[in-house]
Chain A
Amino acid sequence: MDDALEEWFIREVLCHEPALTRYIARFRRNFDDIQEIRQEVYIKVLEAADKDRPLTPRNFMFTVAKHLMLDLSRRQRVVPIELLQDAASLDVLVDELCPERRAGGNQQLDKLSNAFDSLPARCREVVWMRKILDTPQKEIAKQLCISEGTVESHLVRGMRLLAQAYHDCEFDERGCIVIGTPCARQEGRHGRH
Chain B
Amino acid sequence: MGATDKTVADIEIEAAQWLLRKESPKWSLEDEKELNAWLNASTSHRVSFIRLKSAWQQTPRLKRSDTLSSQFPQQKHSPRSKRGIANSTSIHRRHPGPAAALGVLAAMALVISSAMLWQLGIDRAPRFHTPVGGLSIIPLEDGSVVSLNTDSAISLKMTSGERRINLLRGEAFFDVSKDPARDFVVYAGTRKVIAVGTRFGVRINHDSVQVAVTEGLVRIAPETRLIDRVPGLRKDHATDSNHFLNPGEVATADGNLVKVDRHTIGNVEQMLGWRSGNVLLQRVLLKDAIAEFNRYNRRKLVLAQQDLGNIRVGGNFKTENIDGFVRLLEQGFQIHASEHNDVIVLSR
Least CB separation from B100: chain A residue:
A117
Whether A39 lies near B55 (C-beta < 8 A) is no
Contact call A43/B2, Cβ cutoff below 8 A: yes
Interface size on B, residues (CB 8 A): 72
Residues of A with C-beta under 8 A to B85 = none
Q: Quick one: given A46-B46, A117-B115, A184-B135, are A192 and B9 in contact (CB under 8 Å)?
A: yes
Interface centre among B51, B96, B324 (most CB of A within 10 A): B51
Chain A residues, Cβ within 8 Å of B60: 131-132
Interface residue B168 (Cβ < 8 Å from any Cβ of A): no
Closest residue of chain B to A162, judged by CB?
A: B55
Give the segment of B137-145, B245-253, B261-269, B298-306 that binds chain A: B137-145
Within 8 A of A (CB), among B25-78: 25, 39, 43-44, 46-48, 50-52, 54-56, 58-63, 74, 76-78
Closest chain B residue to A110 by CB distance? B111
Report chain B residues within 8 Å CB of A116.
59, 62, 97, 113-115
Interface: A78 (CB within 8 A): no
Q: Does A16 contact B (CB under 8 A)?
A: no
Residue from the list B93, B111, B147 in contact with A109, Cβ < 8 A: B111
Stretch at the interface among A6-14, A56-64, A94-102: A6-14
CB neighbours of B76 from chain A (8 A): 129, 143
Q: Which of A136, A174, A179, A189 contacts B94 (CB 8 A)?
A: A179
In the assembled complex, B19 has its CB within 8 A of some CB on chain A: yes
Whether a CB of chain A sits under 8 angstroms from the CB of B242 is no
A10-B50, A81-B318, A121-B141 as given contacts; A184 in contact with B275, CB under 8 Å:
yes
By the criterion CB–CB under 8 Å, are B55 and A82 in contact? Answer: no
Query: Does B16 contact A159, Cβ atoms closer than 8 Å?
Result: yes
A90–B147 Cα gap in the complex (Å)?
28
Query: Nearest A residue to B47 by beta-carbon distance?
Result: A42
Option from B1, B12, B175 in Cβ contact (under 8 Å) with A160? B12
- Contact partners of A127 in chain B: CB under 8 A: 59
* Least CB separation from B40: chain A residue: A1
CA A187 to CA B139, docked complex, whole Å: 10
A20 proximity list for chain B (CB < 8 A): none
Q: How far is the CA of A10 from the CA of B19 in the complex (A)?
A: 17
Within 8 A of A (CB), among B84-107: 90-98, 100
Given A39-B47, A43-B47, A160-B16, A29 and B111 touching (CB < 8 A)? no
- Which residue in B2, B51, B78, B318 is a CB contact (below 8 Å) of A163? B51
Question: For residue B89, which residue of chain A has the nearest CB?
Answer: A176
In the assembled complex, B338 has its CB within 8 A of some CB on chain A: no
Residues 162 to 190 of chain A near chain B (Cβ within 8 Å): 162-163, 165-167, 172, 174-180, 182-185, 187, 189
Q: Are A117 and B54 in contact (CB under 8 A)?
A: no
Q: How far is the CA of A12 from the CA of B124 in the complex (A)?
A: 36
Contact A117 B118 (CB under 8 A): yes
Question: Given A40-B1, A120-B141 in contact, is the A182-B136 Cβ separation under 8 Å?
Answer: yes
- Chain A contacts of B311 at CB under 8 A? none
Contacts from A to B (Cβ < 8 Å): 1, 6, 9-10, 14, 26, 29-32, 35-36, 39-40, 42-43, 46-47, 80-82, 106, 108-110, 112-121, 124-125, 127-129, 131-133, 136-137, 143, 152, 155-156, 159-160, 162-163, 165-167, 172, 174-180, 182-185, 187, 189, 192-193
**25 A-B pairs (CB sep. < 8 Å):** A39-B48, A40-B1, A43-B2, A46-B47, A81-B321, A82-B321, A112-B59, A113-B62, A117-B114, A117-B115, A119-B97, A120-B141, A127-B59, A132-B60, A132-B62, A132-B63, A133-B74, A159-B19, A162-B59, A175-B90, A180-B95, A183-B135, A184-B275, A185-B137, A193-B9
